[in-house]
Amino acid sequence: MAVNQRSTASSLAQEHPTAIARVALYARVSTLNGQDPEMQLSELREYASRRGWTITYEYVDQGVSGSKESRPELNQLMADAHRRKFDAVLVWKIDRFGRSLKHLVNALADLGAYGVAFISFRDNLDLSTPSGRLMFQIIGAMAEFERSLIQERVKAGLRNARAKGKKFGRPRAQVDADRVASLRAEGLSWSQVCRTLNVSKGSAQRSVARLAEMQSMIACSAGTDPSKQGG
């Protein structure tokens, strides 16, 4: 309901083409491993120059996933848009601005309320025009649908793997319970035992407890009481 309301507000706010003189560039890369936002920025600068627009500022989020709504530079961009420091936001592609349809619609509704246009260079979308808004709704819905399909495929794969007995998470540490018991019998503290065997205190104590339990079960099955042996 909130998304529909904000979408309507965005449409009304950008019903007519906005006169654009000053633009802000926004770029984002998900990781810092070999990804460079300069590729996005260089194309955006060239496009702004061809349109005769003045670039007021470049906002760049590096190493930030698109699924996160809160990003430092994007937050600053929205704050500056509220102050009308520029007339339009220019991005390389829609998925650089946000991958969630809900987030996109909400952000665009805010920009529309501030009187700031939104333009996606690669998608050839200018949301200050009716045709641009229509295309955005179609592409945004398809992108959200694709994202949902990917998530469902991942979940199905995990369910299938669990059904086949595959274990997830960190494997249990292998602890030599006899060695732990021997070191303790020699008078070493738990901390010294853990440093010697490079295991955690919890793992060491659990291994000794399991060893004692097994010895007790063996003694009981043999008809002897281990607590009375040697008496």
Catalytic residues: 30
Alpha-carbon span 7 to 60, nearest angstrom: 26
Residues contacting residue 44 through CB under 8 Å, at least 6 positions apart:
25, 27, 90, 91, 92, 121
Sign for the pseudo-dihedral over CA of 40, 117, 107, 55: positive
Alpha-carbon span 26 to 144, nearest angstrom: 21
Which amino acid is residue 97, in one-letter code?
Answer: F
Burial status of residue 137 (CB atoms within 10 A of its CB: 0-12, 13-18, 19 or more): middle
Closest CA to 126 of 141, 114, 113, 111: 111
CB 177 within 8 A of CB 193: no
Burial status of residue 33 (CB atoms within 10 A of its CB: 0-12, 13-18, 19 or more): exposed
Expressed in percent and rounded to 5, the helix, strand and coil fractions of the chain are: 55, 10, 30
